[in-house]
Structure 1
Amino acid sequence: MKVRTQYLVAALLVAVAFGVSVFFYPQMPDRMATHWTTSGDADGTMGKLWGAFLLPTVTAVLLALFAVIPRIDPLDENISVFRKQYALFVVLFVAFMLYVHSFVILWNLGYRFDFTTVLAPAIGALFYFIGVLMNRVERNWFVGVRTPWTLSNDEVWKNTHSRAGPLFKLAGLVAIVGVFVPTYAIYLMVVPAVGIAIYLTVYSYVEYRRVTV
């Protein structure tokens, strides 16, 4: 699939999100549930207009930002190397936002479920593809593990992302396990991601010291 086609698919998904909001808007309560606790229970509301259209609007803005990034990055020639994988990530991210938005609408239509648990497979899939992307990404200012040390040295960038790829794939698989153990779903999604972020930051520093000193 060509990059332009991938962005058109992402734009179509955004249009679907707006369409869902428009179609179900008359059935939405005056105060819509828009925030859930870690146990999956609603604990925050928002006015009907913003509740129905906030996520599609945020997604549209992010899609525009994702489209601009390859054009404004000082290392845009490096992004061109993994442009197809980057565009596929954009499609998957927009699909993820549509997935979340759909469950927000369903909840406000009266359906009940553990919100954290239904997010687990989608977050797991997103993490897994981030792992795939990490194995292809070249040094740039917007995508990947961007620490002062990875951005300063190509070898440190490459070595850090070689570590990041398998770790994010593993985090994706762990997050999916949350579907089967709802009590721990939030921890299976958050703890590995935080741990990986800390580890990669420290690793990039240590690797930079090894390569340059």
Structure 2
Amino acid sequence: MMAKLKFAWALFALTTIAGLIAYQMVEPGAQIPIHWNIKGEADDWASPLFAFFMLPGVQLISLLLMSALPVLEPRKDNIGKSTKAVQAIVFGTLAVLAAAQSAIIAAGFGYEPMGPKTIIAAVGILFVVIGNYMTKLKSNFFIGIRTPWTLSSDTVWKKTHRLGAKLFMASGAVIFIGSFLIEAPYLAGLVLGTVLPVTLFIIFYSWHIWRQEKSGRTIN
């Protein structure tokens, strides 16, 4: 799996190199903004070492975990059949972290941070990517819509992911477009108001389909 994630590893390397360059260039003792409130104002700071290498560290942990999936995943054949989807989702996740890294580096050198709007737009794109590949995921315990009902039935898994794919892509489009139209203080509400209802509905839907299957009713 590690070799199949080569583009994700390359993105991790670029993010880390950017952090190294920033660390060498920033003034010693500087405090770097690492978090912004809903108004787009920095409200937490850290040392350059933590600020510039925190997100590459998260990327590395994610990559190591994904690379170990063939060993950790009980349904190994299904993970093998889901390789392209896993590659795309992992790369998309790392790209969002890279966007956040860019925002932190820019803020560390006094530039107007890309901050909330850029990060939220990246999250929207990630949702579209996940939705686009969701139907290509086979049943597994690590990636996808993992409820007790989807994991207990391949039919429920497929049906839930077919609907989930459409809802994730629609949610991603709403979040992406909204990130440019809505002021920073309302971005958290945009994401929460979009993602929470979709998540709850998908969970309910997986249970509903499972109930249909259990009762012997036809599932299209």
Q: 1:20 to 1:113 in 2, by over 3 A?
A: closer
How far off is 1:34 after superposition? 0.8
Between the aligned partners of 1:4 and 1:92, the Cα distance in structure 2 is 16
1:193 to 192, 195, 212: 195
Amino acid at match of 2:20: V
Between the aligned partners of 1:145 and 1:89, the Cα distance in structure 2 is 13
The DSSP-based 3-state class of the residue aligned with 2:148 is: coil
Deviations 1:146-168 (Å, cap 9, x if unpaired)?
Answer: 11111111111111111100000
The DSSP-based 3-state class of the residue aligned with 1:147 is: coil
What's the RMSD between the two structures over aligned residues? 1.7
| Number of aligned residue pairs | 211
Deviations 1:20-53 (Å, cap 9, x if unpaired)?
Answer: 1111113155221111112221101122211121
Question: Which residue of the partner structure matches residue 19 of structure 1?
Answer: 17
Question: Which residue of the partner structure matches residue 181 of structure 1?
Answer: 182
Between the aligned partners of 1:97 and 1:148, the Cα distance in structure 2 is 29
Question: Which residue of the partner structure matches residue 210 of structure 1?
Answer: 212
Unaligned runs of 5+ in 1: none
Between the aligned partners of 2:176 and 2:18, the Cα distance in structure 1 is 26
Between the aligned partners of 2:165 and 2:150, the Cα distance in structure 1 is 15
The DSSP-based 3-state class of the residue aligned with 1:145 is: coil
Amino acid at match of 1:66: M
The DSSP-based 3-state class of the residue aligned with 2:180 is: coil
The DSSP-based 3-state class of the residue aligned with 2:38 is: coil
TM-score when normalising by structure 1: 0.92
Between the aligned partners of 2:74 and 2:160, the Cα distance in structure 1 is 21
Unaligned runs of 5+ in 2: 216-220
Q: Is the 8 A contact 2:99 2:118 kept in 1?
A: no
Deviations 1:69-103 (Å, cap 9, x if unpaired)?
Answer: 23321111112222112112222222221111011
Deviations 1:49-68 (Å, cap 9, x if unpaired)?
Answer: 11121111111111111111
Q: Is the 8 A contact 1:34 1:104 kept in 2?
A: yes
Between the aligned partners of 1:129 and 1:39, the Cα distance in structure 2 is 27
Q: Is the 8 A contact 2:8 2:87 kept in 1?
A: no
Identity fraction in percent:
28
Between the aligned partners of 2:142 and 2:57, the Cα distance in structure 1 is 22
Deviations 1:88-144 (Å, cap 9, x if unpaired)?
Answer: 222222222111101110011101246111112211110001101212111111111
Question: Which residue of the partner structure matches residue 126 of structure 1?
Answer: 126
